[in-house]
Structure 1
């Protein structure tokens, strides 16, 4: 489609554009914004959970972005459309595609390998892990497709971004899981980790259930103490 016959409109308060009157493009804008939403989610998790594995995952996300900047300025391949100026000049490889496939690749390995130590191996649990992995890949594919559909990248730029993202995600998972994780118990004992309340939850199969059960148990214990204190008075 010619750029001269298409009118583009910015989606809400973002700088992502879609063709006016194109509802499919408007929906794909949401998927194009998914990497930014994931980065915000990572920052939130790091601040409030302070889990060592989440921190290393986020370091990988930052490293993936740095790698993309280096590749773009090394290859210096222009984007397919040069008339729209609300993005950087270079488009090889696609940063959105690279980041989304990095996260999808890492999470897929995390679900299928890291969560293997979960005590139950029921069919439902295995189905849940595989469905979650497929969902991650589908979302990454939609992010990549959105960048081509909205004319921010060519297919080759998106495919290269996906390849780099998956490769880096696999390498980063191997590094974190087999190299860094054995040292987590020692790292959390560092003074800086104690000051920042950084913890290691690697050996806890389901952190959500663990937090729920412990909070419920502590709340009931405090309630009993308050009840006994009130009776003694």
Structure 2
């Protein structure tokens, strides 16, 4: 079992199939957490799929916020330039900077934004049914749990320190709140106009 904080282990490290995420060979917990740390990749693919098939403006805005969040992470990393805890183990990592953790920042942005969407965007009524409220609570708990597990996986697998994932989570959460407010107050009122313009453009194309 991998010991957090140690940079030398008696077992070799093995990559998850088709990725560069590594875990101690024979460590089942590390194996599960390695797959858990792929969460941001799965989410990006999910967003792209939704956008291609549904073309829903709020989904596009959500993805835009995630991409902006990644840009902010890259900027902070290159300003602080704090190294990863065990860079010699994970030589295949694209960047040696680890502050803040991009995985942690990504997942906490996704979780907090989704949490705000569930409770503030999806308006409740006084007659809201018990099951409707229950699934929101359960889904929110699942989102927060996944964000924590992905963050923990980065420490367990020695890609980051606790402070790096902590600050990643803080930055991601702040970015989520800011982007949610921006989307609600600035972008959402424009969505009907954008949708109407898109319909008119398509109609004009057909008439031609």
TM-score by length of 2: 0.89
Matches within 5 A, 1:28-43: 28-43=33-48
CA-to-aligned-CA distance 1:3-36 (integer Å, 9 cap, x gap): 2534100011111000011000000011100111
CA distance in 2, matches of 1:175, 1:82: 37
Aligned twin of 2:155: 148
Aligned residue pairs total 196
CA gap of 1:183–1:106, structure 2 versus 1, over 3 A, is same
Asked whether the 8 Å contact 2:7–2:158 carries over to 1, the reply is no
The structure that has the greater radius of gyration is: 1
Aligned twin of 1:132: 139
1:71 to 60, 67, 76: 76
Matches within 5 A, 1:149-228: 149-191=156-198, 194-195=201-202
User: Which range moved further: 48-57 or 172-181?
Assistant: 172-181
**Structure 2 counterpart SS, 1:135:** helix
Gaps of 5+ in 1: 197-233
1:13 aligns with 2:18: yes
Aligned Cα root-mean-square deviation (Å): 1.8
1:62 to 58, 67, 89: 67
CA gap of 1:193–1:106, structure 2 versus 1, over 3 A, is farther
CA distance in 1, matches of 2:98, 2:7: 19
How far apart are residue 178 of structure 1 and its match? 2.2
How far apart are residue 99 of structure 1 and its match? 0.2
Q: After TM superposition, where is structure 1 displaced by more than 6 Å over at least 4 residues in a row?
A: none
CA distance in 2, matches of 1:9, 1:193: 54
Higher relative contact order (CA 8 A, sep 6+): 2
TM-score by length of 1: 0.80
CA distance in 2, matches of 1:124, 1:14: 39
CA-to-aligned-CA distance 1:156-186 (integer Å, 9 cap, x gap): 0000000000110011111111221122111
CA distance in 1, matches of 2:28, 2:15: 13
1:105 aligns with 2:105: no
